[in-house]
Amino acid sequence: MDIFVGRQPIFNRERRIVAHELLFRDAGDASGAVFEDGDAATREVLESAFVDIGLDRLAGRQPVFLNLTRNYLLHPPPLPPKQVVYEILEDIDFVDDIQRAIARLAADGYRLALDDYVAEKADPAVLSRVHIIKLDVLAHGPRELERIVASLRDYPARLLAEKVEDEATWTRCLALGFDLFQGYWFSRPQVIRGRRLQANQAIVLQLLRLVHKPAPDFRELEKLISQDVNLSYKLLRMINSPYYGLSRKIESVRRALVYIGQDALRGWLSMLSVRELDEQNRGLTGLALTRARMCALLCPNEQERDAWFTVGLFSVLDQLTGLPMEEVLAGLPLSDDVVAALLHGLGPMGEALACAIALENPRETEPQDRRTAGLSAEEVAARYLEAVAWAQEQMQALG
């Protein structure tokens, strides 16, 4: 599949390129793109740049500016701090959770840029923490721009002039003391084309199940990833990119998993999993996570919760893959009890799954149909609400 990323250079006062901003593009047209889902656009840029095309091809060793929506600001992607600048978009309100997220990112060593500065929305606490403030110089007259620049001199952030489209604007911004510059007078965005390899969907779902366990089994993860050449390729390409700055290449999936670490691995595989599943079925992914968590909460034995979780997670495999459930399960190393629960609703796991499904449409079922594991209908309903909240949290973290 062809994929596209827009790239526009950022210049310093000596007119040398010091960074690139990466932009969402849905085709080879450099003029722009239309999208309704900002999270989806950010996710597309992240995977296309970081996994499919490679940041080394897009920007060499220079940092890249990446737009973060509110959700991604709260759940930032696990990228190396020294090589990215996270842009805080102008439509984000600086409420308490956003303030904490900005402080956390700054403390972790990330550079932050405030996009399209508007004086009326300015927050002193945010202005004190960001490293770069971007100003749309076309949106302000000369005197207004001079006044805004003067008001920002008390803050440590560098100023970036956006939409510099002629020499007169460049000269005026230089005189005002801007540090960085971006615009058509320097360079229009260039669209970089790449190709995306598709992973096996069943392996992706298994990875999603494994990686969200409290202590993922790296040997099992290695086995699964190694079964799919595309996943192996993407993982090794990411680890060996210049952005990790390794002194020598990592050539095995096992070493890559050990190097990247549990937290970053969870973030990367989660992002990849959502991307590999059909975008039109992301509602099914949330449904699967809710069922999985509900089944686990109904499991009476902690040692068996992983199998119960699997039943819920895999209950939508036929809809996600477009294949009959029997055919999907035939290629997976699942226990007879799990298969029986998924195919025929048999056993305690099948009963738990039926209960979870019944709760999706409570008005259409009787209270007795929503009881299981010796729990009352009220107790089961409380656990279902917990499962829904957990699934929503996971989906938000996945982008």
pLDDT value for 331:
56
Q: Which amino acid is at 152?
A: L
Contacts of 54 (CB under 8 A, 6+ apart): 237, 241
Closest alpha carbon to 392 in 285, 314, 263: 285
pLDDT tens per residue, range 136-157: 999 999 999 999 999 999 899 9
pLDDT value for 190:
92
Gap between the Cα atoms of 258 and 251, Å rounded:
12
For the chain, 399 residues long, the average pLDDT of each consecutive 10-residue run is 89 96 79 75 86 81 91 85 89 86 92 89 87 94 93 94 95 96 93 74 72 77 77 73 69 79 68 56 75 91 83 81 76 79 94 91 58 75 91 65
Structure tokens at 230: 């595309």
The pairing of strands 84-88 and 180-181 is unpaired
Structure tokens at 395: 């989906």
Domains contained in the chain, CATH given:
2-194 (3.20.20.450), 201-276 (no CATH), 280-398 (no CATH)
On the CB side of 289, CA atoms within 13 Å amount to: 24
pLDDT value for 161:
97
pLDDT value for 399:
46
The pairing of strands 190-195 and 2-11 is antiparallel
> 123 burial class (0-12, 13-18, 19+ CB within 10 angstroms)?
middle
Gap between the Cα atoms of 45 and 49, Å rounded:
6
Q: CA distances (Å), 202 to each of 190, 314, 351, in order?
A: 36, 9, 24
Contacts of 317 (CB under 8 A, 6+ apart): 202, 205, 323, 325, 328, 329
Cβ atoms of 129 and 112 closer than 8 Å: yes
pLDDT tens per residue, range 153-173: 989 999 999 999 999 999 999
Gap between the Cα atoms of 237 and 250, Å rounded:
9
pLDDT value for 398:
46
> Three-state DSSP class for 385?
helix
pLDDT value for 218:
84
pLDDT value for 281:
56
pLDDT value for 121:
78
Please give the sequence-ordered ranges of beta strands (E in DSSP) within 123-213, or none if there are none: 132-136, 158-162, 180-181, 190-195
